Amino acid sequence: MNKQFNIAVDAMGGDNSPEKVLKGIDLFLKDNKNSFINIFGDTKLINSQIKKYQNINSSNSKIIHSENKVPNECSVRDAIKIGKQTSMWMSIDSVKRGESDIVVSAGNTGALLVMSKLILKTIDGVDKPALAAIWPNFKSYSLLLDLGANVECTEKNLIEFSFLGTELFRAIFNKEKVSCALLNIGTEELKGHESIRNANSYLLEKKITNFDYKGFIEGNEIKNGDCDVIVTDGFTGNVALKTAEGTANFITTEIKKSFSKSIFSKIGYLFSYFAFKDIKNKLDPRKFNGAIFLGLNAPVVKSHGGADAFAFYNSISLSYRILNGNLINKIKNNFINLNV
């Protein structure tokens, strides 16, 4: 029986692997019968654990042995030296060979990006790949990129990211009309550095039809949900992401502390339990686990290294949505070679 999608999984990347990876795969295959998982890693170690997961079997998965893995703290240079014998390299290479359609790994971010660029190459016309991720807001979700793949970006990069990000949002959420904005320190056209001002001028003057360009957006407006895709350079994007994660953690931690101070606060918590459960569920970072290296000839999904099984399951689910949305063909069909 042919499966609709073949997903390559680096089973050795990140903390507590392959246990969390196998459990995440088991959760995914429970509800996704038309997927096949190519599992790359230490066969002996994987086989010692896989028997306890009833949804993983020979009809929906295959284990491919790798001699090594990329250590979490390994430098990119050292990772490349041992690359071809690692579960990370082999999983990416399986996409190049046409054996898999997408890669999911919780391994070393720098090594994953460099290996992916070396093996898969960028789509014709794309200068640099970007790292994109889903961001919750008051209305639904936004997509933010770049989140750290490129510390410095030219106006051409920012414009390319706008096209790439809108196609990704369209593929994931099946939304035809997508809005896009550039993250800046103000909404006035004279604000910001030269690259972002030039990118804004280009997008305004060319009257882009691929998406609805909204101009500049400030960081405190992301939560409003008025824009689907927010574009910035990797330095700013990474700082924004880490700040948002830290703030969300601070708020939830302080709420827990406040409700445990006295018997009265604990009683108050009981009356507010369902409301706070709903808030916690919406802010749960595990639900948004999985950043996408965007602009390569095949999609690569990066799970957080410290993700648990449920978070890793969501990364695999994200990869499924990307494939189901036919992302790469949409980019290749709609991407415009920019004359910037």
Residues 6+ apart with CB under 8 A from 183: 144, 216, 217, 218, 219, 222, 230, 231, 232, 236, 237, 240
| Domain boundary assignment for the chain | 1-126+295-340, 129-288
| pLDDT digit string (tens) for the chain, length 340 residues | 345 899 999 999 888 889 999 999 999 999 888 899 999 999 999 999 998 999 999 999 999 999 888 888 888 888 888 878 899 999 999 999 999 999 999 988 889 999 999 999 999 888 889 999 988 888 889 999 989 888 889 999 999 999 999 999 999 998 889 999 999 998 888 888 999 999 999 998 887 778 899 999 999 999 899 999 999 999 999 898 888 878 877 877 877 787 777 786 777 667 666 666 666 666 666 777 778 999 999 999 998 888 888 889 999 999 999 999 889 888 888 766 565 5
pLDDT for 290:
76
Give the pLDDT confidence score for residue 261 in this predicted structure: 77
CB of 160 closer than 8 Å to CB of 338: yes
Burial of 183 (0-12, 13-18, 19+ CB in 10 A): buried
The CATH number of domain 1-126+295-340, selected from 3.40.718.10, 3.40.190.80, 3.30.70.660, 1.10.3720.10:
3.40.718.10
> SS3 letters for 141-206?
EEEEECCCCCCCCCHHHHHHHHHHHHHHHHHHHCCCCCEEEEECCCCCCCCCCHHHHHHHHHHHHC
The answer to whether 236 and 149 are in contact (CB under 8 A) is no
For residues 48 and 22, the answer to whether their CB atoms sit within 8 Å is: no
Predicted pLDDT at 97: 94
Which CATH entry fits the domain spanning 129-288: 3.30.413.10, 3.40.50.300, 3.40.50.1780, 3.40.718.10?
Answer: 3.40.718.10
Place of tokens 């700040």: 243
Tell how far CA 131 is from the center of its chain: 7
